[in-house]
Amino acid sequence: MTTSPLLDATSVAKNYGAVAALRNASLSVLPGEVHALMGANGAGKSTLVKILTGAIKADAGRILIRGQQLDVRSPAAARRAGLLPVYQEPSLIPDLDVLSNLRLTGTPVEPFRAWVRELGIPDLDIRETARHIPLAILRVLDLARALAVEPDVLLLDEMTAALPANLAEKVLEVVRRQGDAGRSVIFISHRFVEISALCDRATVLRDGATVGVVDIEPGVEERIVEMMLGTRIEKTRIAARAPNEVAVAAGGRPRLSVRNLQLGTKLNDVSFDLANGEVVGVFALEGQGQDELFAALAGSIRPTGGTIDVDGAPVKFSHPSDAIQAGIAYVPGDRTEALAMQRSVRENIALPFSAGLRKWGPIRMRREQVVVSGAIGRLQIDTRAQGEVQRLSGGNQQKVTIARWIAANARTILCFDPTRGIDVGTKQEIYKLLRELAGQGKSVLFYTSEMEEVQRVCDRVIVIFGGRVVDTFPVEEADEPALMRAAYGLPRGAKADVGILAEVRPASDAEAAS
Amino acid sequence: MTDIATMPRPVSFGRRLKRFMADRPLIPLIILLIVLVVILQILRPGIVNERWLANTAKFAIPLAILAGCQTMTMLTGGIDLSVGTVATMSAFIMATQIVNQDPTVAFLLAMLPAVLIGLVNGIGVGVFRVHPLIMTLGTSLIGTGFLQVYQRTVIASGAKIPDFLNWLGTGVTYGFPNALLLFVPVAVLIVLMLNRTGFGRLLYAVGDNERAARLSGVRYWQVITALYILSSLLAGITGLLYIGLIKAPSLSLAEPLVLPSVAAAVIGGTSIFGGRGGYTGTIIGALILTVLTTLLTILQMPEGGRRILFGFIVLFVTAAYLRIIEDR
């Protein structure tokens, strides 16, 4: 095309200390275009968006708006230049009513109302306090507020996430018409269905650099997945496992059996089994419902529908202690959520022992010492600073969270991203431990966002997208392209020459999953 | 086994000293207590004798038990401001009921409001998540109100202090105050409970990280309800001891002890944010406050000046102590 771009960012880079969040990102948006920005977790999408909207400052690079170099040093400056973002988190101030929120940002009220009606909310009371408005509506109001000031470039971050189908449809329609009206939209999404229905072109980021700009046409999703994966496309070999790490061939009924699990709009019809002696991986992009799945299995939140069976008997957990009673232990990804930081390693590991009302009496110190040091030895926790857990390194803290359940002899462990932010050596030890647990007939459900870990640790992998199970693979077939494709909601066997819209279930159905 | 013991590395003396203090937070407190006693002895030579020691212990003990209530609740990130009212209620009810009732019945009647207030506090904090400060302040006001109503119904019967409580509160045997017979077992039980029982562990765990405790299967409301009932019971018993010491039942008998009991726990190194502290420090904190009061009394200052000085010293001691023991 010959028209000059409305927004042209080239060679943008941003470092956080020694870590390069963006190395060489470029993004060029034409007038009247809906442009998709894509990339796996950590590819640098959100950093680029923050730079474009003035939330952070780039270390290098050039940003032109309508051919003029602009120094976007604050969100207000970006706004003046005609660049307006709608983030995933609602941005209305909760304790003000909608009208006050509009005044705060100088948004004209009548156009806002018109857009709200346009977006499918006919009866909004703008005197309503934002806190009392449901999340889905708040997101739409954010969009309407942005549309009301008629920005040249609208930046939408996962706009349809958490929206019910009817609202999502309206939103997509409005976004499409923005393009027709000569304004541009940058559309960030994990959903190929939306992208292919909506966007003209896509820019793909990988490891902080732009690796390609493609026109959206049938079959392009394969190319996009390839670009996101880069050179890692070749089949990775699964390392042979030591005999004691091989899963016990489990006969009989499954240890944990989840059927049609439903949790608001976050989880939809999730079904899977976890056998004794098995490590099942859960792979998903951020925020696809995995947090809710684990919380429901751990008894932290109550599902709105579906059943959970443990050893063939149905269970209803109303508190984590119910799950623990059933032998299901949850290791959260965030260590600060699991540890009493000012207490000793010993007390942290022994904490579940005292939980029940009947165990409030005197502690048998010697027996506890034996059990705790057994678990410490098994995980090789460095106990030089055992007086307070907060003095331990991150890796050792993570080990303590797992050691607690080794000591309690839990039969099933739900590990949510246990290797986040810890050193390579400790990661290896945790992989080995999980395999050993499976070797002893225990079962592990293991969420990870790193594809490599799936192959190292799991026997099977469940891929979740938009609150639904997209696919279940045996680990032999879980190579990176297959995982990545599934993580973006593309089922196995979708061929490159088949357009997505023809292949995937109807769009409205997919939107309902959000 | 501490870091110093296993990893000999060159560290400055000041830093080593700080580490040492951080690992043994009682030592600076004991030093402070001794310094205060020495100052007292210098200002008024000969005052520190057997009688003075017994007297100090007598007045420190009720404060120390109430401070135990604060220590336990503060470990969970709470506070119990109703201890003053509870102690007053049980003392007042005891003194008035003993006139016509069997001692056992009078005792049970005296402990009844303690259990009730503790239960209400526990359910309010543990189930309905009312902030402990507000919850216990509220029940304290309600309790005082009930006590005023109660007072009118017994105005004719009069009050007397049971001989046993008299003996326990003021009596001295072989130079030791009899109150120690109550205090030593109570103190030992609290210390053992905090360190050697499942319930004690849970108090620390809940105060340090409630979410982590929940994920480990702990039911918050159970722990909190049991805790506030226990705290109230202790306060009730303190009331009985205190009426034996003061010998004048009134509607604000133990009220002046409430804020000092919080101060004693804080000086003793218990964090009001929960998860950190212990009862031995609190006992020394109560002793420090008692000695400090004597010290300020013999200075022969006007009451106002004494209070101002008392407040400043408490603030200074707490701030300095936290600087010493917190190893960050």
- Residues of chain A contacting residue B212, judged by C-beta atoms under 8 Å apart: 337-340, 351
Q: Which domains does chain B have, with CATH numbers?
A: 50-325 (1.10.3470)
- Compare CB distances from B217 to A341, A352, A361 and report the shortest one's residue: A352
Contact B216 A339 (CB under 8 A): no
Residue A277 main-chain phi, psi, to 5 deg: 75, 25
Give dist(CA A241, CA A239) in Å, integer. Answer: 6
Contacts of B233 (CB under 8 A, 6+ apart): B111, B114, B115, B118
* Nearest residue, CB atoms, B218 vs list A341, A342, A355: A355
Fold of A7-233: Rossmann fold (3.40.50)
Query: Considering only CA atoms, which of B105, B97, B101 is closest in space to residue B249?
Result: B97
Q: Can you give the pTM of this predicted structure? A: 0.79
pLDDT digits (tens, 9 = 90+) for A49-64: 888 888 888 888 888 8
Instruction: Name the 3-class secondary structure at A15.
Output: strand
- Phi/psi at A464 (nearest 5 deg)? -110, 135
Hey, what are B311's tokens?
Answer: 């407040």
Q: Of A343, A372, A414, which to mutate for an interface test with B (greatest number of B Cβ within 10 Å)?
A: A343
- A334 in helix, strand or coil? coil
The tens digit of pLDDT for each residue in B307-326 reads 898 888 888 887 887 777 66
Q: Which chain B residues are closer than 8 Å to A387 by Cβ? A: 2, 23
Burial class of A159 by CB neighbour count within 10 A (0 to 12, 13 to 18, 19+): buried
ipTM value: 0.85
Between residues 220 and 239 of chain B, which touch chain A (CB distance below 8 Å)?
222, 226
- pLDDT tier at A122, thresholds 50, 70, 90: confident
The order of strands in the sheet holding A305-310 is A267-274, A256-263, A305-310, A313-315
Average pLDDT estimate for A86-93: 84
pLDDT of residue A80: 84
Nearest by CB: B215 against A332, A357, A363: A332
Cβ of B198 within 8 Å of Cβ of A337? The answer is no
Q: Is there a contact between A94 and A131 (Cβ–Cβ < 8 Å)?
A: yes
Contact B196/A at CB under 8 A: yes
Strand A460-465 and strand A279-283: pairing?
Answer: parallel
Within an 8 Å CB–CB cutoff, is residue B218 touching chain A?
Answer: yes
Chain A touched by B255 (CB under 8 Å): no
pLDDT(A505) > 80: no
Q: What is the CA radius of gyration of chain B?
A: 21
Which residues does chain B have with pLDDT short of 70?
Answer: 1-11, 22, 325-328
Q: Write the single-letter amino acid at A16.
A: Y
What one-character DSSP code corresponds to residue A418? Answer: T
Instruction: Report in angstroms the alpha-carbon separations of B243 from A43, B61, B128, B239.
Output: 72, 13, 34, 6
Q: How far apart are CA A478 and CA A461, in angstroms?
A: 7
Q: Which residues in chain A have Cβ-Cβ distances shorter than 8 Å to B218?
A: 321, 351, 354-355
pLDDT band, very low/low/confident/very high, at A495 (cuts 50, 70, 90):
very low
Contact between chains at B209 and A356 (C-beta distance less than 8 A): no
* Greatest distance between any 2 Cα atoms in chain A: 81
**Type of residue found at A431:** Y
Q: Report the topology of domain A237-327+411-478.
A: Rossmann fold (3.40.50)
Interchain contact, B205 vs A343, CB within 8 Å: yes
> Domain map of chain A by residue range?
7-233, 237-327+411-478, 342-410
Give the residue from chain A lying closest to B216, CA to CA.
A352
Same fold flag, A7-233 and A237-327+411-478: yes
Query: What confidence category does residue A127 fall into, taking pLDDT thresholds of 50, 70 and 90?
Result: confident
Would an 8 Å CB–CB cutoff place A423 in contact with chain B?
no
Residues of chain B contacting A321 with CB distance shorter than 8 Å: 217-219
CB A155 within 8 A of CB A85: yes
Closest by CA to A88, choosing from A36, A161, A191, A137, is A161
pLDDT at A512 over 70: no
* Cα separation, B12 vs B9, whole angstroms: 10
* Tokens of residue A5, six digits: 């771009």
Band of residue A216 on the pLDDT scale cut at 50, 70, 90: confident
B201–A350 CB contact, under 8 Å: yes
With residue A149 as reference, give the H or E element that holds it: none
